[in-house]
């Protein structure tokens, strides 16, 4: 991995890596450090499990099943386990995307044994203390905040206190009014725009199932008279992302390849059958596609 990073950096390419907020109960991390997780003292099984309340993806919330942290114990060690986790990740990547950033301000915990995430509660997280300690130990923090879901002013304050760029998702932009924060005209520069993330359907898959009201909103926003006039919704979203003021735009290869829901990477409300899609052949990335991407990238100075 270090060789890959060096190769990329020598070509002025930076690698973005991901740190998921939680780890699995059967991981080496929990086995070696049970004291920093909220576990049953006798069986060492989770006393509480992680998730989020009802949201965009699920009416019963998301029940992830991971054990949650004992943040008081972690603070007593100056967050040593987390610091080493960041240090190890930064050996291989240049920028770290923190998954479920809002969980550092407050996290949703559900008693073990529940079948849905509905009967959980918000518990205060380590907040700014964690990132202050992280920064004082590691120096500058090249962090992107995955600030999706139920975001409160406290979460936004935490993100902005450390000048972390948040995320803007175009698939979330067209279900509301003109003040929807995911619409490009509402972006600030210090953000990262995606047509859709790994948790979303592909843009074509999304378009095939989204409601008529949202389709008409998209058409009007793009300057079309009707949704039927839109022939390549994935490239329309790619153009919107690249032409926005967001400092960084991230595109999925599935959208570049014109894939429908068969190319979806992950459905966060479903435990089984995810992460099966694979890019399989260099024949998929044609010279015509390369030229098209080059032209639109240069057009918007990306």
pLDDT tens, 214-244?
A: 999 999 999 999 999 999 999 999 999 999 9
Residue 271 pLDDT > 80: no
Residue 280 pLDDT > 90: no
Taking the C-alpha atoms of residue 35 and residue 44, their distance in angstroms, rounded to an integer, is 10
Question: Which positions ≥6 away from 235 have C-beta within 8 Å?
Answer: none
Residue 66 pLDDT > 80: yes
106: β partners: 124
Taking the C-alpha atoms of residue 62 and residue 177, their distance in angstroms, rounded to an integer, is 27
Query: What is the set of domains in the chain, with CATH numbers?
Result: 1-164 (3.20.20.80), 166-302 (no CATH)
Burial of 122 by CB count in 10 Å (0-12 exposed, 13-18 middle, 19+ buried)? middle
Question: In the prediction, which pLDDT does 220 show?
Answer: 98
Angle CA 47–42–105, to nearest 5: 30
| Strand 95-98 with 106-111, pairing | unpaired
Reported in sequence order, the residue ranges of 126-207 that DSSP labels E, i.e. its strands, are 143-145, 166-169, 191-194
- Return the structure tokens found at 23: 């780890």
Cα 239 to Cα 18, 67, 194, 297: the distances in Å are 25, 40, 11, 9
Percentage above 90 pLDDT, the chain? 91
Cα 86 to Cα 26, 91, 97, 132, 147: the distances in Å are 21, 9, 11, 14, 19
Give me the mean pLDDT over the 36-44 stretch.
96
CA-CA-CA-CA torsion for 105, 61, 218, 189, nearest 10 degrees? 10
Model's pTM, two decimal places? 0.91
- Return the structure tokens found at 203: 């843009």
The answer to whether 124 and 102 have CB atoms below 8 angstroms apart is no
Taking the C-alpha atoms of residue 34 and residue 95, their distance in angstroms, rounded to an integer, is 29
Which residues are identified as catalytic?
99, 146, 199
Reported in sequence order, the residue ranges of 117-239 that DSSP labels E, i.e. its strands, are 121-124, 143-145, 166-169, 191-194
- Per-residue pLDDT band for 1 (boundaries 50, 70, 90) equals confident
């Amino acid at each position: 991995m270090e060789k890959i990073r060096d190769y990329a950096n020598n070509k002025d390419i930076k690698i973005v890596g991901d740190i998921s907020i939680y780890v699995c109960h059967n991981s080496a991390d929990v086995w070696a450090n049970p004291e920093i997780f909220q576990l049953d003292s006798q069986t060492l099984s989770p006393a509480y499990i992680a998730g989020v309340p009802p949201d965009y993806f699920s009416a019963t919330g998301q029940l992830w099943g991971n054990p949650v942290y004992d943040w008081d114990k972690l603070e007593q060690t100056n967050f040593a386990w987390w610091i080493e986790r960041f240090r190890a990740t930064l050996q291989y990547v240049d920028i770290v995307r923190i998954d479920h950033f809002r969980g550092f301000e407050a996290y949703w915990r559900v008693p073990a044994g529940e079948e849905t995430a509905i009967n959980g509660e918000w518990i205060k997280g380590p907040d700014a203390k964690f990132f202050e300690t992280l920064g004082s130990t590691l120096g500058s923090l090249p962090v992107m905040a995955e600030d999706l879901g139920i975001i409160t002013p406290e979460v936004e304050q935490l993100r902005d206190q450390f000048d972390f760029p948040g995320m803007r998702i175009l698939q979330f932009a067209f279900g509301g009014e003109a003040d929807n924060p995911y619409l490009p005209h509402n972006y600030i520069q210090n953000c990262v725009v995606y047509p859709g993330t790994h948790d979303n359907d592909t843009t074509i898959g999304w378009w095939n199932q989204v409601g008529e009201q949202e389709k008409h909103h998209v058409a009007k926003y793009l300057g079309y008279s009707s949704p039927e006039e839109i022939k390549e919704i994935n490239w329309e979203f790619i153009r919107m992302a690249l032409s926005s003021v967001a400092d960084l735009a991230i595109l999925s290869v599935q959208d570049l390849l014109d894939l429908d829901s068969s190319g979806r990477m992950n459905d966060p409300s479903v435990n089984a059958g995810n992460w099966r899609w694979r890019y399989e052949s260099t024949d998929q990335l044609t010279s015509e596609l390369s030229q098209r991407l080059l032209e639109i990238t240069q057009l918007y100075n990306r």
